[in-house]
Structure 1
Amino acid sequence: MGDFSTDTEPYRRELLAHCYRMLGSFDDAEDAVQETYLRAWRAYEGFEGRASVRTWLHQIATNACLSALSHRSRRFLPSGLGGPVDDPAAVPVTADVAWVQPVPDSVLDPATIVASRDSLRLALIATLQALPGRQRAVFILRDVMSWPASDVAQVMGTSTAAVKSTLQRARARLAEEPPDVERAVEPGQLEPVLGHYIAAVEHADGAALERVLRADACLEATPFSTWFSGRATCVPYLVRQVLGSPGDWRLLPTSANGQPAAVGYHRGAAYGLLVLTVTPTGIARIHAFGDPALVKRFGFPPTL
């Protein structure tokens, strides 16, 4: 029998990514990981090495997530609630639903971000929330983490044949509504685009925003169900209803979900987080999370 901390700590960040994909919430994922380590610590003396420590921990974490999902409603992004609005003068409508949350790259394993950046994209995380819990777990373990079916069967407490059947159902369901995951851009190309976007917002420069957004760019912002599609709609909406005057906004660069991001302050007060989907032809989507608590969660001060 080894030392509990020595045996289990190397997997903490990997478990956080797994629980985040399962739950779509940074807060809930942290709670699930805490619950996982508590359960594992209590059961450690009886762990006899019938599985690897990694498989054993993922089994506990998956069960903790499935238990959490049985008591919580599905999480959404605004685009999952209906179609876009084409009127830039439209007043956004607040929706009382559970929202998908972004996750700071700083809390994840850098190797996971490099190797699996697309599997952390907000679009995929939101789409996964449509799957029933067990289908979601099998899909993540098999198709995202590339685990052998036999290992997944061990985690799920079922047979290899059952894992294959569950995976087929998950794939079929996702094929009906595939996630809008854009082709990845090399990390070195992301920072300049983020810098141009930050400058455009801070200077309230609509023309500069037009230059960095794709023609088919989308904008969605929690807690609003209203979202906008197309540069011709998004830019006028931002100019008329959001940007205000130069200096009203201050954005500080960070990263979330393997994507470039910025924490936002409006006239010195925390607003929340903006996450960009950057493609070779420009910014395809802006996810804005109007939650001041996220600023602190990403390691920034609550006011400027």
Structure 2
Amino acid sequence: MAAEDEATVEAARAGDEAAFARLVGEYRRELRVHCYRLVGSFDDAEDLVQETLLRGWRRRESFQGRSTFRAWLYRIATNACLDFLRRRPERRQAEFAEEAGPVPAVAVRWLQPFPDAQLATTVTEPDAVVVARETVELAFLTAMQFLRPRQRAALVLRDILGWTAQETAELLETSVESVNSSVQRARAEMRRRTPDSREEWAPADRLDAAQQDLVRRYLHATERGDLDALAALMREDLRFSQAPGAGGNMTPDPVWQQGRDIIVASWAPAYVGADRIEVRAIGTRANGCPAVAAYARVPGDRTFVPFGLVVLRVEGALIAEITCFGPEVFASFDLPAEL
């Protein structure tokens, strides 16, 4: 990075706040993504970036230049995330049935969507861009939460950041053999937990013209409450899931369904009859996929209030999966509080 010159680093080590701000400013976004991969929560990732920068400032004199300043910050961020997970035993590892296969993102209660607008923009190499994109997909992040924290860290450091086994072992204060074993187990678990069809997915930045039109038609059909038009955009084996408080799910538990006809029929009460809701929608992007923020207005109200943020997974010419998060995530996407 241009800011990581010797004079700037020395000034930061000596206590120059402006120099330190220039250094960390280059890496703030990618550090947030790093923390998000480890803890699964956008809000917690932001807090952990703040903790990383605070620790870095307090320990600035410990930077000896044996690595890049960026690598030094990643070490601090990784340890901050591991400390966070030690303090939160209920967040260390997701629990689910032992059988292999993907589970909905909403099954991991702390998992939040990540706004594409907040993704790091410093990666330019083609292979690195692919890795960066695929490792923020909801399916990948969901599978990550089934790993133990140190397995998670070892996998991210080795397979995403490209650290050597020795560098990873030094950060985790363990042996190279232990790191290699952790990474092998983590890779095996990730294969068990992610869909076989991932290569067929179309992230938002690679949607062709027909797929972009598909997303536009979904948005407009949602606003019209046109269930037939919505059904025409979906695969027959569509998967749909809702977090608690999302899109009319008033239960304390997440729910999920499979099958287009079953799912569309379950939406009918909200769209049909005198008490039907009106909907307005805003297009956005989350976790490398198209997303739609839905606002609802019930009869008698003047404003539309947040209803749910849906992330769409597109396969070929149809929507294969819809994941609906609650209104609490709207703020992180800079979406309005009402329409």
Superposed pair shares fold, TM > 0.5? yes
Say yes or no: does 1:106 pair with 2:117.
yes
CA–CA distance in structure 1, aligned partners of residues 107 and 188 of structure 2: 30
Which residue among 53, 56, 62 is the counterpart of 1:46? 62
Say yes or no: does 1:122 pair with 2:138.
yes
Say yes or no: does 1:276 pair with 2:297.
no
Say yes or no: does 1:265 pair with 2:281.
no
Deviations 1:246-299 (A, max 9, x none): 871111001111111111101101123111111114111101012x23222211
The code of the aligned residue for 2:331 comes to K
Deviating beyond 6 angstroms after TM superposition, the runs of 4 or more aligned structure 1 residues are none
Matches within 5 A, 1:181-220: 182=198, 183-185=200-202, 186-189=206-209, 190-220=211-241
Say yes or no: does 1:74 pair with 2:103.
no
The code of the aligned residue for 2:201 comes to A
Paired residue for 2:35?
19
Q: Which moved more, 1:8-17 or 1:180-189?
A: 180-189
Which residue among 291, 297, 301 is the counterpart of 2:336? 301
Deviations 1:47-74 (A, max 9, x none): 1112221221111111111111123323
Deviations 1:118-142 (A, max 9, x none): 2111111111101000001111222
CA shift, 1:18, in A, is 0.8
CA shift, 1:19, in A, is 0.5
CA shift, 1:207, in A, is 1.3
The 3 A distance-change label for structure 1 pair 301 and 218 is: same
Which structure is higher in RCO with an 8 Å CA cutoff and minimum separation 6?
1
Paired residue for 1:144?
160
Paired residue for 1:160?
176
The code of the aligned residue for 1:8 comes to V
- Contact 2:93-2:147 within 8 A present in 1 as well: no
Say yes or no: does 1:251 pair with 2:251.
no
CA–CA distance in structure 2, aligned partners of residues 127 and 226 of structure 1: 18
CA–CA distance in structure 1, aligned partners of residues 221 and 93 of structure 2: 28
The 3 A distance-change label for structure 1 pair 21 and 179 is: farther
TM-score (norm 1): 0.86
CA shift, 1:181, in A, is 6.2
Paired residue for 2:257?
228
CA–CA distance in structure 2, aligned partners of residues 278 and 272 of structure 1: 19
Gaps of 5+ in 2: 1-9, 12-18, 100-105, 245-252, 298-303
CA–CA distance in structure 2, aligned partners of residues 108 and 237 of structure 1: 34
The 3 A distance-change label for structure 1 pair 191 and 145 is: farther
The code of the aligned residue for 2:151 comes to Q
The code of the aligned residue for 1:296 comes to A
The 3 A distance-change label for structure 1 pair 75 and 218 is: farther
The code of the aligned residue for 2:111 comes to V
Gaps of 5+ in 1: 84-94
The code of the aligned residue for 2:207 comes to P
RMSD value, Cα? 2.7
CA shift, 1:154, in A, is 3.7
SS of residue in 2 equivalent to 1:98 = coil
SS of residue in 1 equivalent to 2:48 = helix
CA shift, 1:81, in A, is 7.3
Give the paired residue count: 290
TM-score (norm 2): 0.77
The 3 A distance-change label for structure 1 pair 144 and 289 is: same
Structure with greater Cα Rg: 2
Paired residue for 2:102?
none
The code of the aligned residue for 1:215 comes to E
The code of the aligned residue for 2:286 comes to A
SS of residue in 2 equivalent to 1:217 = strand
Deviations 1:92-134 (A, max 9, x none): xxx9973310011111113559532221111111111010000
SS of residue in 2 equivalent to 1:70 = helix
